Amino acid sequence: MRQVVVRGRHGSGVRLPLIVVVALAAVVLAACSSSSKTPASGGGNQAPTTLMTHTGSAGTYLTDNRGVALYDFVNDTPTSSSCVGACATVWPPLTGTATAGTGVTGSMITTITRPDGTKQVAYNGHPLYYYHGDSAAGQTNGQGQNLNGGLWWLLSPAGTEIKTH
Protein backbone atom coordinates (compact mmCIF):
# COMPACT_ATOMS: atom_id res chain seq x y z
CA MET A 1 0.00 0.00 0.00
CA ARG A 2 1.35 3.42 -0.97
CA GLN A 3 1.92 5.88 1.82
CA VAL A 4 2.31 9.64 1.84
CA VAL A 5 4.23 11.66 4.40
CA VAL A 6 2.18 14.62 5.61
CA ARG A 7 4.34 17.28 7.23
CA GLY A 8 3.14 19.71 9.89
CA ARG A 9 4.14 23.34 10.39
CA HIS A 10 7.25 22.35 12.33
CA GLY A 11 8.52 19.84 9.78
CA SER A 12 7.53 16.66 11.62
CA GLY A 13 5.86 14.08 9.40
CA VAL A 14 3.18 11.44 9.69
CA ARG A 15 2.87 8.51 7.28
CA LEU A 16 -0.66 8.00 6.03
CA PRO A 17 -2.05 5.59 3.47
CA LEU A 18 -2.69 7.35 0.14
CA ILE A 19 -6.40 6.57 0.36
CA VAL A 20 -6.64 8.49 3.67
CA VAL A 21 -4.88 11.52 2.16
CA VAL A 22 -7.27 11.52 -0.83
CA ALA A 23 -10.30 11.19 1.47
CA LEU A 24 -9.12 14.07 3.67
CA ALA A 25 -8.50 16.25 0.63
CA ALA A 26 -12.04 15.52 -0.63
CA VAL A 27 -13.53 16.52 2.73
CA VAL A 28 -11.56 19.78 2.81
CA LEU A 29 -12.54 20.66 -0.78
CA ALA A 30 -16.20 19.89 -0.11
CA ALA A 31 -16.17 22.10 2.99
CA CYS A 32 -14.54 24.96 1.10
CA SER A 33 -16.87 24.80 -1.89
CA SER A 34 -20.18 24.35 -0.10
CA SER A 35 -22.17 27.49 0.45
CA SER A 36 -24.38 27.79 3.45
CA LYS A 37 -27.83 28.78 2.29
CA THR A 38 -28.77 31.01 5.17
CA PRO A 39 -31.78 33.21 4.48
CA ALA A 40 -29.71 36.35 4.04
CA SER A 41 -27.12 34.86 1.71
CA GLY A 42 -27.58 36.09 -1.79
CA GLY A 43 -24.28 36.50 -3.55
CA GLY A 44 -22.86 34.26 -6.22
CA ASN A 45 -24.49 32.51 -9.14
CA GLN A 46 -27.74 30.96 -8.10
CA ALA A 47 -30.63 29.12 -9.65
CA PRO A 48 -33.31 31.56 -10.83
CA THR A 49 -35.17 33.15 -7.92
CA THR A 50 -38.92 33.69 -7.90
CA LEU A 51 -39.84 37.10 -6.52
CA MET A 52 -42.79 36.84 -4.17
CA THR A 53 -44.66 39.10 -1.76
CA HIS A 54 -45.14 38.93 1.98
CA THR A 55 -47.36 41.02 4.22
CA GLY A 56 -45.99 42.03 7.61
CA SER A 57 -45.88 45.01 9.94
CA ALA A 58 -44.27 47.19 7.25
CA GLY A 59 -46.95 46.32 4.68
CA THR A 60 -46.71 44.09 1.60
CA TYR A 61 -43.13 43.81 0.35
CA LEU A 62 -40.94 41.79 -2.02
CA THR A 63 -39.18 38.60 -0.93
CA ASP A 64 -37.33 35.80 -2.63
CA ASN A 65 -38.93 32.36 -3.02
CA ARG A 66 -37.78 31.46 0.52
CA GLY A 67 -39.68 34.40 2.04
CA VAL A 68 -36.54 36.42 2.79
CA ALA A 69 -37.00 40.21 2.53
CA LEU A 70 -35.40 42.16 -0.31
CA TYR A 71 -34.24 45.76 0.08
CA ASP A 72 -33.53 48.85 -2.00
CA PHE A 73 -30.54 51.16 -1.42
CA VAL A 74 -31.43 54.82 -2.05
CA ASN A 75 -27.92 55.58 -3.35
CA ASP A 76 -28.30 53.22 -6.32
CA THR A 77 -29.47 54.19 -9.79
CA PRO A 78 -31.66 52.07 -12.08
CA THR A 79 -28.53 50.92 -13.93
CA SER A 80 -25.86 50.69 -11.23
CA SER A 81 -25.18 49.52 -7.71
CA SER A 82 -23.15 51.67 -5.34
CA CYS A 83 -23.06 48.95 -2.65
CA VAL A 84 -19.73 47.17 -3.13
CA GLY A 85 -16.94 45.85 -0.90
CA ALA A 86 -17.82 45.89 2.82
CA CYS A 87 -21.29 47.21 1.99
CA ALA A 88 -22.07 44.09 -0.08
CA THR A 89 -21.06 41.93 2.89
CA VAL A 90 -23.71 43.56 5.07
CA TRP A 91 -26.18 43.84 2.17
CA PRO A 92 -25.56 40.89 -0.19
CA PRO A 93 -27.00 41.59 -3.64
CA LEU A 94 -29.59 39.27 -5.17
CA THR A 95 -27.63 37.97 -8.15
CA GLY A 96 -28.55 35.82 -11.11
CA THR A 97 -32.01 35.96 -12.64
CA ALA A 98 -35.55 36.14 -11.29
CA THR A 99 -39.09 35.38 -12.35
CA ALA A 100 -42.38 36.81 -11.10
CA GLY A 101 -44.46 34.99 -8.52
CA THR A 102 -48.00 35.84 -7.46
CA GLY A 103 -48.47 39.58 -6.95
CA VAL A 104 -45.21 40.53 -8.69
CA THR A 105 -45.13 42.24 -12.10
CA GLY A 106 -42.79 40.35 -14.40
CA SER A 107 -42.07 43.31 -16.67
CA MET A 108 -40.59 45.19 -13.68
CA ILE A 109 -37.88 42.54 -13.18
CA THR A 110 -34.58 43.38 -14.85
CA THR A 111 -30.88 42.89 -14.16
CA ILE A 112 -27.98 45.29 -13.91
CA THR A 113 -24.29 44.55 -14.20
CA ARG A 114 -22.42 45.09 -10.94
CA PRO A 115 -18.89 46.58 -10.90
CA ASP A 116 -17.48 43.02 -10.51
CA GLY A 117 -19.35 41.85 -13.63
CA THR A 118 -22.05 39.79 -11.88
CA LYS A 119 -25.71 40.27 -12.75
CA GLN A 120 -27.91 41.72 -10.00
CA VAL A 121 -31.69 41.46 -10.01
CA ALA A 122 -33.55 44.79 -10.00
CA TYR A 123 -37.25 45.56 -9.61
CA ASN A 124 -38.74 48.71 -11.13
CA GLY A 125 -35.22 50.13 -11.43
CA HIS A 126 -34.19 49.25 -7.86
CA PRO A 127 -31.28 46.78 -7.50
CA LEU A 128 -32.26 44.24 -4.82
CA TYR A 129 -30.34 43.20 -1.70
CA TYR A 130 -30.64 40.97 1.33
CA TYR A 131 -29.72 42.18 4.82
CA HIS A 132 -27.25 40.08 6.84
CA GLY A 133 -29.28 40.83 10.00
CA ASP A 134 -32.29 38.91 8.68
CA SER A 135 -31.71 35.32 9.75
CA ALA A 136 -35.14 33.90 8.85
CA ALA A 137 -38.02 34.35 6.46
CA GLY A 138 -40.39 37.17 7.42
CA GLN A 139 -37.75 39.28 9.21
CA THR A 140 -37.30 42.91 8.15
CA ASN A 141 -34.45 44.07 10.39
CA GLY A 142 -32.93 46.13 7.58
CA GLN A 143 -36.04 48.28 7.06
CA GLY A 144 -35.26 51.98 7.38
CA GLN A 145 -31.63 51.38 8.36
CA ASN A 146 -29.20 54.22 7.65
CA LEU A 147 -26.11 52.12 6.97
CA ASN A 148 -23.24 52.06 4.50
CA GLY A 149 -23.83 55.63 3.42
CA GLY A 150 -27.58 55.68 2.89
CA LEU A 151 -31.07 54.47 3.69
CA TRP A 152 -32.43 50.99 3.00
CA TRP A 153 -36.10 50.29 2.32
CA LEU A 154 -38.32 47.34 1.54
CA LEU A 155 -40.03 47.52 -1.87
CA SER A 156 -43.74 47.17 -2.49
CA PRO A 157 -45.05 44.98 -5.34
CA ALA A 158 -45.75 48.28 -7.15
CA GLY A 159 -41.97 48.88 -7.11
CA THR A 160 -42.01 51.76 -4.65
CA GLU A 161 -40.05 52.14 -1.43
CA ILE A 162 -41.95 51.42 1.77
CA LYS A 163 -40.81 54.22 4.07
CA THR A 164 -42.18 53.04 7.41
CA HIS A 165 -40.18 51.66 10.30
The amino acid at 74: V
Q: Please give the model's pTM, rounded to 2 decimal places.
A: 0.74
3-state secondary structure of 110: strand
Contact 123, 96 (CB under 8 A): no
Provide the total of helices (H) and of strands (E) in the chain, helices listed first.
Answer: 2, 12
What local confidence, expressed as pLDDT, does residue 15 receive? 61
- pLDDT of amino acid 47: 78
List C-alpha distances in Å: 38 to 52, 122, 133. 18, 21, 11
Across the beta sheet with 126-127, the strand order is 109-113, 119-123, 126-127
What is residue 18's predicted lDDT score, i.e. its pLDDT? 52
pLDDT tens-digit profile, the chain (165 residues): 665 555 544 555 556 565 544 444 443 333 333 333 334 544 444 679 999 999 999 999 999 999 999 999 999 999 999 999 999 999 999 999 999 999 999 999 999 999 999 999 999 999 999 999 999 999 999 999 999 999 999 999 999 999 987
Break the chain into its structural domains and give their ranges. Answer: 3-33, 49-162
